[in-house]
Amino acid sequence: MTALALKMLFGDTAKYMMLVAGLFFASFLIIQQASVFCGLMLWTTSTLKNVAAPIYVVEEQVQQVNETNPLRDTDVARVRSVSAVEWAMPLYSGIQRVRLEDGSFKTVQLIGIDAATLAGAPERMIKGRLEDLRLPNTVIIDELAITRLSLKGAPPIKVGDRFEINDIEARVVGICKAARSFTGGPYIWTTYERALQYTPPSRKMLSAVIAAPVDGVSWEDAAGEISRKTGLKAYVNRSFGSDENDLNTSTVWWYVRNTGIPISFGTTVVIGFIVGVAIACQTFYSFVLDNLRHLGALKAMGMSNLRLSLMLVIQAATVGLVGFGIGLLFTALFAIAAVENQQPPFYMPWQIPVVAFGVIQLICMVAALMGIFRLSRYEPAMVFRT
Amino acid sequence: MNDETNDRVAVDVRGVEKHFSDGARSIHVMKQVTLQALKGEILMLVGPSGCGKTTLLSAIAGTLNIESGEIDVMGNPVHKMSDAALTRFRAKTIGFIFQQFHLIPTISVAENVGIPLLIQNAPKKQVIDRARAVLDAVGLGDRWKERPNRLSGGQQQRVAIARALVHEPPLVICDEPTAALDARNGEIVLELFRNVARSPDRAVLIVTHDNRIFSYADRVARMDDGEIVEVREQGHTEPPHFVHEHA
Ligand SMILES: Nc1ncnc2c1ncn2[C@@H]1O[C@H](COP(=O)(O)OP(=O)(O)OP(=O)(O)O)[C@@H](O)[C@H]1O
Ligand SMILES: [Mg+2]
């Protein structure tokens, strides 16, 4: 019976292709868009990966890492005085403009770290030495900066090259690996003091205090104690979904709640769903109508409604499976290209394909149900009249 | 009716009534229809278009509900059975032959023939073996692997006959089996009905208004305007033959 169902399905090549194409399109759109959305959300937390301190202390109202609501300089000492804190260092993080030799500007994510300890420095250097950051007017750039800050036609930027940040000279002493920033600009590390020089003056400049707990105290406990003692907000830096006091989690949710990003991606996903429903249901229904004569003859010859329904379910599930499989394959190709190219953002947690598979199969079952309903209204006596 | 004939009765239709409502109008399609079909015979149901032949055939086949009266097929009270029971009854008891053949185009000839066995969950190997044997009997043994639409209309109807016989049903039902065929193919099909389909334990019931083929029947029941008006024995003084119009 399964064989009969599948042969009937594959026999109608045009409709079969159409069904698979529609469901492929829907799966691809849903999986790819959802993954790009997740990737983009992950990018919002890049600073937390690039400056991998266990604890981030920020101004009370701050809910996400890209929001700079500065602290007082004295807050570093206040955090340091908390007994659970092993060390606490200042952090500057802000978007600044780099002027290239040809006069054009590029935005970058400027990170200022403590010069003495280099706490918050890049973790993986590719070229140059981290310690050289202590030399005058020096910066460490990430890989993306090589393409972003190199002049057209000129050789790519390298260790020893110079550019200007707000009219002040910056000399490249190292290149590192870093996670992509949400804004698309490259990460540039310098010392905290120099970051203040690069930045147009204002009263308060301290974006955050990064800190680590003493041995034997958990990150969460230390963060809790910092909050109680200083009145500042102290987050841990674990990973998305760990808990509400994790800055990654708080950052992602802030973007989900306060930006149009989920809606715009959600719209595309919904369009994929609707297109899938429309094509699958319409094509499958016309496939059933085309075969109604034969299905009706089977019914007259004594095939039960249950088995006929099962045949339609098998057919619908099969096109769903094939369409989804091809959709997943194309998403994988897209993902490989995205990873190679470092953009667009792409992150596919296992929940995405699982949910997408469920959605596609749901579409197919709706299509099958429509066919089953049509067939149930087909009187077996009709076979003598068609 | 004596016991001996009673034993030979395959289909027993008694006092069957049926109306169709056609918008506001109600059509009385079966008026106290009473008819018997016997094992071992070919019974033809003939009459003008619209007189109710297909309707009666559908009722006997258990695909159409009647209002009153009784229909027994091989001892099964068709008029009393539930839908599920009717489905099982049709699968086991009846071989169907349709005017338009209704072969599934995307599976092979043998697979088409095997469908009634498939419906009864016969093992796959047995389905194909049995289908090929019946195809041999209708003279298409060498075409079993092909798709039905590669065959001529006459050959397709022979495949349909094979399909109707593959599960050895005690009743074979055909509605206008020759209407879509030319004279030559009609003749081949009718020969098959007489020589292959007809058997001592089976009744073959053919609806037709094709008067070229009446002589192949053992009995002819004439219907008019919802009533059986005459049942005539064919005393076969000469062998049955196909009446060619221009011969
Ligand atoms: N489902 C239906 N609904 C309404 N009227 C119907 C239905 N089926 C048949 N009829 C009517 O019942 C009458 C008998 O139809 P039936 O098909 O049994 O005739 P027939 O003898 O088989 O005719 P033909 O030789 O043309 O096939 C016709 O008037 C037909 O229009
Ligand atoms: Mg008819």
Would the CB atoms of B107 and A301 count as touching at under 8 Å?
Answer: no
Identify the band that residue B247 occupies on the pLDDT scale cut at 50, 70 and 90. Answer: very low
Q: What is the pLDDT of residues A63-97, one digit of tens each?
A: 999 888 889 889 999 999 999 999 999 999 998 88
Q: Return the exposure string of B127-139: e unless at least 16 CB atoms fall within 10 Å of the residue's CB, then b.
A: bbebbbebbebbe
**Is the predicted pLDDT of residue B138 greater than 60, yes or no?**
yes
For residue A204, pLDDT over 80 is answered with: no
Q: Provide the 3-class DSSP secondary structure of residue A34.
A: helix
What is chain A's mean pLDDT, rounded?
91
Residue B5 has pLDDT above 70, yes or no: no
User: Average model confidence (pLDDT) for chain B?
Assistant: 90
pLDDT value of residue B114: 96
Three-state DSSP class for B115? helix
- Which among A4, A308, A383, A384 is the top mutation candidate for probing chain B, defined by the most B β-carbons within 10 Å of its own β-carbon? A384
- The residue of chain B with its CA nearest to that of A301 is B91
- pLDDT tens for each residue of A86-144: 999 999 999 888 888 888 888 999 999 999 999 999 999 999 999 999 999 999 999 98
Decide if B57 and A384 are in contact by the 8 Å CB cutoff: yes
* Nearest ligand 1 atom, CA B56: 18
| pLDDT of A193 higher than 50 | yes
Q: Which residues of A touch B125 (CB under 8 A)?
A: none
All residues of chain A having their beta carbon less than 8 Å from the beta carbon of residue B111 are 4, 7
In which domain, by residue range, is B128 found?
39-62+81-233
With a 6 Å cutoff on the Cβ, whether B7 touches ligand 1 is: no
Structure confidence at residue A213 as a pLDDT band (50, 70, 90): very high
Contact present, A243 and A249 (Cβ < 8 Å): yes
What spacing in Å lies between the alpha carbon of B55 and ligand 1's midpoint?
Answer: 6
Query: Which residues of B lie closer than 8 Å to A, measured between beta carbons?
Result: 54, 57-58, 61, 63-64, 84, 87-92, 94, 96, 98-100, 102, 104-107, 111, 115-116, 118-120, 175
- What ranges in chain B are assigned the alpha helix state H? 3-8, 53-61, 83-93, 109-119, 124-137, 153-165, 183-192
Residues with CB under 5 A from ligand 2 (ion): B 54
Residue B181 belongs to some domain of the structure: yes
Token pair belonging to B233: 């024995």
CB contact under 8 A, A301 and B91: yes
8 A C-beta contact, residue B99 and residue A310? no
- The sheet that has B9-22: what strands, in order across it? B25-38, B9-22, B68-73, B76-77
Q: Which residue of B29, B57, B207 sits with most ligand 1 atoms within 8 Å of its CB, as the best mutation to test the pocket?
A: B29
Q: Where do we find the tokens 């400027």? A: A110
Task: Give, rounded to a whole angstrom, the gap between the first and last alpha carbons of chain A.
Answer: 24
* Ligand index nearest the alpha carbon of residue B98: 2
Average pLDDT value for residue range A356-371: 93
Q: B93 to chain A nearest CA, in Å? A: 9
Residues of A in contact with B119 (CB under 8 A): 298, 301-303, 307
Of B16, B17, B27, B63, best ligand 1 pocket probe by most atoms within 8 Å of the beta carbon: B27
Does the N-terminal peptide bond of residue A344 adopt cis geometry, omega within 30 degrees of 0?
yes
Tell me which residues of chain A have a C-beta less than 8 Å from any C-beta of chain B: 1, 4, 7-8, 10-12, 293-294, 297-305, 307, 379-381, 383-386
Chain B CB contacts of A299 below 8 Å: 87
For residue B124, the 8-state DSSP code is: H
Closest CA to B61 of B87, B90, B81, B82: B90
Question: In Å, how far is A3's CA from the nearest CA of chain B?
Answer: 10
- CA A252 to ligand 2 centroid distance, Å: 70
3-class state of residue B82 by DSSP: coil
The distance of B70 to chain A (nearest Cα, Å) reads 18
> Residue B207's pLDDT is what?
94
In chain B, the number of structural domains is: 1
| 8 A C-beta contact, residue B225 and residue B51 | yes
A290 neighbourhood in chain B, CB within 8 Å: none
> In terms of CA atoms, which chain B residue is nearest residue A300?
B63
Q: Could you tell me which residues are beta bridge partners of residue B227? A: B224
pLDDT at A149: 86
Q: HSE of A379 in the Cβ direction (CA atoms, 13 Å)?
A: 13
Q: Give the CATH number, domain containing residue B184.
A: 3.40.50.300
Sort out which chain A residues have CB atoms less than 8 A from B94's CB and list them: 301-302
Residues with Cβ within 8 Å of residue A322, at least 6 apart in sequence: A20, A23
On the question of pLDDT at B244 being above 80, the answer is no
Separation in Å, CA A291 to CA A85, A218, A276, B114:
74, 66, 22, 19
| B89 belongs to a structural domain | yes
- Domain membership of residue B29 (yes or no) is no
Q: Is residue B131 part of a domain?
A: yes
For the cut 80, the answer to whether the pLDDT of residue B144 exceeds it is yes
Judge contact between B86 and B78, C-beta under 8 A.
yes
Q: Which two three-digit tokens encode residue A184?
A: 């698309």
Q: What is the DSSP string of A212-254?
A: EEPTTS-HHHHHHHHHHHHSSEEEE---TTS-TTBHHHHHHHH
pTM assigned to the model = 0.83
DSSP A181: P
Contact yes or no for B146/B109 (Cβ under 8 A): yes
- Over residues A10-35, the pLDDT tens digits come to 988 999 999 999 999 999 999 999 99
User: Is residue B127 included in any domain, yes or no?
Assistant: yes
User: Is B32 domain-assigned?
Assistant: no
* Integer angstrom CA distances of residue A22 from A92, A207, B64: 50, 49, 39
In a domain, B186, yes or no: yes
**What phi and psi values does residue A99 have, to the nearest 5 degrees?**
-100, 125
Q: How far is the CA of B13 from the centre of ligand 1 (A)?
A: 19
The answer for residues whose C-beta is within 8 angstroms of residue B101's C-beta and 6 or more apart is B148, B153, B156, B157, B159, B160, B180
Helix axes B109-119, A2-11, angle to 10 degrees: 140
* Residue B6 belongs to a domain: no
pLDDT of residue B197: 82
Contact at 8 Å (CB) between B139 and B219? no
Binary contact (B111, A298; C-beta < 8 A): no
**Mean per-residue pLDDT, A296-304:** 93
Q: CB under 8 Å to B82, separation ≥6 — which residues?
A: none
Residues listed for chain B? 247
Q: Can you tell me the mean pLDDT for A329-344?
A: 89
pLDDT of residue B1 exceeding 80, the answer is no
The rounded distance, in Å, linking the Cα atoms of B168 and B196 is 11
CA A249/CA B101 separation, integer angstroms: 66
Ligand 1 nearest-atom number relative to CA B53: 21
Q: Is B62 in the pocket of ligand 1 (CB under 6 A)?
A: no
pLDDT, tens digit, 9 for 90 and up, residues B20-32 = 988 889 999 999 9
CA B175 to centroid of ligand 2, rounded, Å: 7
Which pLDDT does position B4 carry in this prediction? 55
